[in-house]
Amino acid sequence: MATSAAALTAAELELREQVRAFLAEQLPWGTFEPGLGMGAEVNPAFSAALAERGWIGMAVPARYGGRDANAVDRFVVVEELLRWGAPVGHHWVADRQIAQVLLRSSSSTTTKRSTAVASRPP
């Protein structure tokens, strides 16, 4: 199966620039130990700053406290965080795995309560 690269839209490119500017401001090179995904440094303050911008729980529906973002927006944010080696260890599993499992397999009441916790600032 052959696939071709897709260009990002203007809005997606703007989101990428916002994430890059945020990372440069919050995590200047030399001020942290770069990591990768759930193996990255744990930094609750950084995770809280991401959550305040709506960049944690992006794929969670708004009715459960998320952002209703599409997969490409979520990918843009995650790709930039990984590229930078950002300290995402505090929220990585809750955002990428637990929230998604709760959305698919729990009751509406449990989902609302649990995903709201997973997508808000620590």
The 8 Å CB, 24+ separation contacts for 112-115 are 112/63, 112/64, 112/65, 115/57, 115/60, 115/64, 115/65, 115/66
Collapse the DSSP code of 96 into the 3-class scheme (helix H, G, I; strand E, B; otherwise coil) and give the result.
helix
User: What does the pLDDT look like over 68-85, one tens digit per residue?
Assistant: 889 899 999 999 999 999
| pTM (two decimals) | 0.77
What topology is assigned to 42-122 in CATH? Butyryl-Coa Dehydrogenase, subunit A; domain 1 (1.10.540)
Cα angle 33, 47, 101; round to 5 = 115
User: What does the pLDDT look like over 23-72, one tens digit per residue?
Assistant: 999 999 999 899 987 788 889 999 999 989 999 888 888 887 788 889 89
Please name the residues in contact with 32: beta carbons below 8 A apart, sequence gap of 6 or more: 41, 43, 85, 87
